[in-house]
Amino acid sequence: MATVNPPAQPLVAIRDLQVSFAGVPALRGIDLTVAPGEAVGLVGESGSGKSVTWLAALSLLPAKARVTGSVLLAGEELIGAPPARLDDVRGGRVAMIFQDPASALNPVLTVGRQIGEALALHAGLSGGALRAEARRLMELVGIPDAGRRLDAYPHEFSGGQNQRVMIAMALAGKPDLLVADEPTTALDVTIQAQILDLLRAVRREFGMALVLISHDLGVIAETCERVAVMYAGRIVEEAPVAPLFGEALHPYTRGLVGSLPPLDGPRRRLTSIPGTVPDPRHLPAGCAFAPRCPVASSGCRETDPRLAAAGEAHRVACLHPGAEAAVPVPAAAATLAATTATPAMALTS
Ligand SMILES: Nc1ncnc2c1ncn2[C@@H]1O[C@H](COP(=O)(O)OP(=O)(O)OP(=O)(O)O)[C@@H](O)[C@H]1O
């Protein structure tokens, strides 16, 4: 008789995560899993809830946030976990880096001291071993003259180098998951590419999972295996990179993909999705995207669709998945998943 392997336990399993601030919804029921070693991209317009998802998962939101639902890390519930346990998880099994490394680093402490603090806390190192490991991490993330620069302060580093330092600090705890929230948005284009290369390299080296939060589908296509598209506090589509670019089903995703410039052929004007994201205090009835949707029917203004299977590992929340939209999915975008170029992207917000 054939044996069936049980599905591997996800590293992170988020179920029905809901967040509101003073009664205003920010997340309206997020379901998302990350497998060990997997790279998942989270994309969506400003305010869609990308950052809040992971801040809530790691209990980093201000106390006024009301958080419900479940976030399992290797089977352990993080929502409502004791603060001491969360301190171990943050910077240990799960590390997070942000858009602006300068504001995440302490300006009055040397970078060596800051990496050292992370190593003392999460790797239990001290003395010479700690300094040697801090230097090794600085070298690993590509800071030249690492031994000397351990004694430098963040203002003596460029933005890209400070992001490298943040990545070194994140690696101090040998995390199983690195959440990178717009890690390259504040950097110029050449440096962006270098930091993405570094993230890919350290992911390989450490075998860790990566969640990459970005406005830029191109960046996600180059770095991730799977993509979740967020809109107004929900995931509206989720799929491996190739089907998401080649066969997007949600009209919002089709609009995002349609706004990517072609990588070959003549340049054309970027399209953008008309309209703006709804005010979370006054969400429309039915589907939150319906007011901007080129294929919305009257049913879409009444029924709020939830994510449902639409193929292997492909889920979509839409009453008319794949319906021909005014913004077609350009064939060029389908090639994007296989390329390493970094296209720009137009998003209205
Ligand atoms: N501390 C807070 N207090 C009140 N509302 C908040 C707070 N943090 C986030 N929000 C709200 O939660 C919603 C989701 O915000 P979030 O930062 O997750 O969006 P995002 O998709 O990450 O956007 P961006 O790409 O601009 O970072 C937004 O409506 C935002 O205004």
The count of C-alpha atoms lying within 13 angstroms of the C-alpha of 313, restricted to the half-sphere facing its C-beta, is 14
The pTM for the full model equals 0.88
Residue with tokens 């072609």: 262
Please name which of 232, 244, 246 lies closest in space to residue 315, comparing C-alpha atoms: 244
Interstrand relation of 226-231 and 234-240 (parallel, antiparallel or unpaired): antiparallel
pLDDT of residue 257: 87
Query: Over the chain, what is the mean pLDDT?
Result: 88
What would the pLDDT profile of 102-140 be if each residue is shown by its tens digit?
888 999 999 999 999 999 998 889 999 999 999 999 999
CB–CB of 66/56 below 8 Å?
A: no
pLDDT of residue 118: 93
For domain 12-224, which architecture applies? 3-Layer(aba) Sandwich (3.40)
Q: How confident is the model at residue 330 (pLDDT cuts 50, 70, 90)?
A: very low
What would the pLDDT profile of 158-179 be if each residue is shown by its tens digit?
999 999 999 999 999 999 999 9
Q: How far apart, in whole angstroms, are the C-alpha atoms of residue 181 and residue 179?
A: 6
Q: How far apart, in whole angstroms, are the C-alpha atoms of residue 121 and residue 95?
A: 13
b/e string for 68-100 if b means 16 or more Cβ within 10 A? ebebbbeeeebbeeeeeebeebbbbbbbbbbbb
Q: How far apart, in whole angstroms, are the C-alpha atoms of residue 246 and residue 70?
A: 32
pLDDT of residue 12: 98
**Ligand 1 center to 80 CA (angstroms):** 21
Instruction: Check whether 312 has a pLDDT greater than 90.
Output: no
Instruction: Check whether 341 has a pLDDT greater than 60.
Output: no
**Ligand 1 center to 53 CA (angstroms):** 9
As given in the structure block, the two tokens for residue 209 are: 């999972």
Instruction: Check whether 62 has a pLDDT greater than 70.
Output: yes
Query: Which residue's CA is the nearest one to ligand 1's atom 4?
Result: 21
CB–CB of 115/169 below 8 Å?
A: yes
**Residue 16: what residue type?**
D
What would the pLDDT profile of 99-109 be if each residue is shown by its tens digit?
888 888 999 99
Mean pLDDT of 6-31: 92
pLDDT of residue 8: 74
Q: How far apart, in whole angstroms, are the C-alpha atoms of residue 127 and residue 214?
A: 38
Instruction: Check whether 28 has a pLDDT greater than 90.
Output: yes
Q: Which helix (H) or strand (E) holds 178?
A: strand 177-181
CB–CB of 248/315 below 8 Å?
A: no
Q: Nearest 5°: phi and psi at 293?
A: -85, 130
pLDDT of residue 1: 47
Other Cβ atoms within 10 Å of 190 Cβ, number: 9
Q: What percent of the chain has pLDDT over 70?
A: 87
Instruction: Check whether 196 has a pLDDT greater than 80.
Output: yes
Q: Nearest 5°: phi and psi at 177?
A: -140, 130
With the most atoms of ligand 1 within 8 angstroms of its CB, the residue from 17, 51, 348 to mutate is 51
What would the pLDDT profile of 241-286 be if each residue is shown by its tens digit?
999 988 999 999 998 887 776 555 554 444 567 888 899 999 999 9
Higher pLDDT, residue 177 or 217 = 177
Domain boundaries, given as residue ranges, for the chain: 12-224
**Ligand 1 center to 60 CA (angstroms):** 13
Query: Which residue's CA is the nearest one to ligand 1's atom 19?
Result: 47
